[in-house]
Structures are given as C-alpha cells and as structure tokens.
C-alpha cells in the first residue's frame, strides 16, 4: 500500500518541488495550503506573494494541477490567531522581540496540520524547508542542517517535537536552490522562477508597530530615552518601535553609536548604551525543546546562535534550573 504524504504548499518553488518529488517516487500525494489569515489587506499580496494570501493559493493550485495531485485549502485561522498573532503582540508589549515564523512552524504548520492530516490517514507531512531530520542511535529524532548552508532553515525548526519529527519529511534537504529551480523548470512548474518570500506575511509594509496598535486598540505612548544610569537623553516614540540591539532609526544623535540595550516596560523607558554595554557572553532561556537527548544533566559544549542569520559560535550549556537554561559563549 502506498504511503500517504500531505505536502504543505506555500505556492513557492521549494514546496512545489517537494510535492513533485513524492509524486515521482510513487507516494499517494495530497497538496494542502493553510489559510491562516482572514484579511487579505494584511497578507503579502505582491506579485510574488507570501505564504498566506490568495496568490499563494492560486500558485499552489496551478502547481498541483500540473503535477496531477489533489489539492485542498485548510482553514487554520483560529490556530494562527491564537498561537502566532496573539503571541507576537504579547511579546512586543513585554519589550521582547518575537519570531512569529518559529511559532507558526511549531503550532500551525506542524502541530495543527499534522494532527488534522493524521486524522485523514496520512503517514507523513512534508514541506519545502531546507533542513534535515536524522533518527539517532538512541531512537530520538533531531533536526540537522541542510546541504545548502546558504538556505539552511534548521534554526526555525528547533522547537518541533519528537512526534512531529517522526512524521515529517524534507525532500529537498540535500539540494541547492539552483538545483530546485532547475527541477521545477524541467517539470514545467509555473513557479520555477518565483522569488522567495521574505517579510512577515501578516504585517503590511513591515509596519509592525501600527499592526500592534490596531490589534490592541491602544497607541504606544512616548517616553524617555535614558542611559544605563537612568539619565534622560531624550524622548522616544513608543516602546514597541524599538528592539534590543537596534542602532538605526532612534531619532536621536550622539557623538558615537548608541544601541538599545534594554526596554523597561513598566517605566516606558528605552535604555541606550555603548556596544560594550550591549554585548554579553551569557544568555538565559526557557521553553526548552530537547531533540537529540531527553535532558542535560551536566555542562555540554555545543555551538549556538541567537539570530537566524548569525554564524554558529562555540558555547557551553548548563543544566536547566527551574526551567531556565544558561548558555555561556
């Protein structure tokens, strides 16, 4: 009996080639696009489209017709609102900078989609992500880097659970982007030369501050720029307009570069400082997802990074205390 795989189709070339791969390998393939946002004004509705707009649906449907697979649009508006939009807004209001794509991957593109697909008899879900999944000798699954390091997306897949990984396939993990486009072109796929989507799909024109104010119904009020000693340096436009590490767009000039080193939400203050004041060798984090092991009981030397585009650097992880782990770089 053929294995059934549901391919999450974003309308882009990567997921389209993923669907083509399984069709050619003899799988029972179903294409699915997740409808996650109900107001098209907030979706990336450019010619190249994002992953949630009507253009994505149109492109995915045309690809499915070309390949010869059934195609459906599944409604995940409620899940997306609860686990991505509400999280995104709440984190900014707490003075933190969220990554909504990671939340979307974990709770919508995997948890919600997988459970629905398993319910209709699917064996696997698959996407066009550039990542790899390995089953380790201890029986656990782990995400590793793709062959294309320039396109590697393992960073945004770090919080997938063991159950999700055991039912997930990444068919283009061994390919380079140029190879993916050539395969799509040879197969006559209409999205062979479609550009990659870059921005947050539900933020119009990148104006996340206006989006947050519209969602909450509350305008972010101005407050003080202060230095690390509490001295007032000037006025800011509202705390949600800033993020730790920011240097440009502060609207205030100094003799040397100043960075946002902290956001004090209770005081409505944006704390500015030098690069030395900004940088740190220690990172504390919670909401830990263990992949290759079930726990860490002693210090472990690994490589890590705190931004998608950053390079991996050596660090030491220390066992979690009260759910909080420390990394020393």
| CB atoms closer than 10 angstroms to residue 325 | 16
What's this model's pTM, rounded to 2 decimal places?
Answer: 0.88
Closest to 308 (Cα-Cα) out of 50, 131, 95: 131
Burial of 200 (0-12, 13-18, 19+ CB in 10 A): buried
Query: pLDDT tens-digit profile of 306-328?
Result: 888 889 999 999 998 998 999 99
Contacts for 241 with CB less than 8 Å, ≥ 6 apart: 209, 220
Q: Which residue has the tokens 């459970």?
A: 115
Using CA atoms, how far apart are residues 318 and 225, in angstroms rounded to an integer?
35
Q: Which residues are the active-site residues?
A: 104, 201
Which DSSP letter does residue 311 get?
P
253: helix, strand or coil: coil
| CB atoms closer than 10 angstroms to residue 293 | 12
Residue 47: its pLDDT value, please?
Answer: 40
Contacts for 28 with CB less than 8 Å, ≥ 6 apart: 2, 3, 4, 5
Could you give phi then psi for residue 211, rounded to 5 degrees? -60, -45
Do 30 and 197 form a contact (C-beta atoms < 8 A)? no
Query: pLDDT tens-digit profile of 106-164?
Result: 999 999 999 999 999 999 999 999 999 999 999 999 999 998 888 999 999 999 999 99
Q: Which residue has the tokens 């997740």?
A: 34
Beta strand extents in the chain (DSSP E only): 4-8, 28-35, 71-75, 124-126, 132-135, 141-144, 168-169, 223-226, 232-236, 259-264, 269-273, 282-285, 300-304, 313-321, 324-328
Q: Which residues of the chain have pLDDT under 70?
A: 38-54, 198-199
Using CA atoms, how far apart are residues 94 and 104, in angstroms rounded to an integer?
20
| CB atoms closer than 10 angstroms to residue 299 | 12
Residue 52: its pLDDT value, please?
Answer: 56
Q: How far apart are the first and last CA of the chain?
A: 50
Using CA atoms, how far apart are residues 200 and 229, in angstroms rounded to an integer?
35
Residue 18: its pLDDT value, please?
Answer: 98
The residue length of the chain stands at 329
């Amino acid at each position: 009996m053929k294995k059934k795989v549901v391919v999450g189709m974003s309308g882009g070339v990567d997921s389209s080639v993923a669907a083509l791969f399984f069709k050619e390998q003899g799988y029972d393939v179903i294409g699915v696009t997740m409808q996650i946002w109900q107001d098209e004004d907030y979706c990336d509705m450019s010619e190249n489209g994002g992953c949630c707009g009507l253009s994505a649906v149109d492109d995915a449907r045309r690809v499915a017709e070309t390949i010869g697979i059934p195609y459906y649009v599944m409604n995940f508006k409620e899940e997306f609102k609860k686990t991505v939009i509400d999280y995104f807004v709440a984190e900014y209001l707490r003075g933190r900078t969220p990554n909504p794509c990671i939340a979307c991957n974990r709770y919508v593109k995997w948890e919600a989609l997988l459970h629905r697909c398993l319910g209709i008899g699917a064996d696997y879900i698959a996407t066009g992500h550039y990542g790899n999944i390995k089953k380790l000798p201890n029986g656990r699954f782990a995400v590793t880097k793709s062959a294309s390091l320039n396109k590697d997306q393992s960073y945004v897949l770090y919080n997938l659970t063991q159950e999700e990984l055991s039912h997930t396939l990444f068919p283009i993990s061994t390919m380079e982007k140029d190879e993916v486009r050539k395969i799509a072109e040879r197969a006559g796929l209409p999205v062979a030369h479609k550009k990659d989507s870059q921005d947050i799909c539900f933020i119009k024109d990148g104006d996340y501050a206006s989006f947050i104010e519209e969602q909450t119904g509350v305008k972010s009020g101005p407050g003080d720029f202060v230095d690390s000693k509490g001295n007032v340096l000037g006025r800011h436009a509202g705390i949600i307009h800033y993020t730790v590490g920011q240097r440009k767009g502060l609207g205030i000039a100094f003799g040397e570069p100043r960075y946002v080193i902290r956001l004090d939400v209770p005081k409505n203050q944006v704390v500015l400082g030098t690069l030395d004041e900004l940088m740190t060798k220690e990172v504390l984090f919670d909401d830990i997802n263990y992949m290759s092991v079930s726990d860490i009981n002693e210090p472990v030397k690994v490589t890590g990074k705190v931004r998608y585009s950053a390079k991996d650097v050596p660090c030491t992880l220390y066992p979690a205390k009260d759910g909080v782990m420390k990394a020393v770089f």
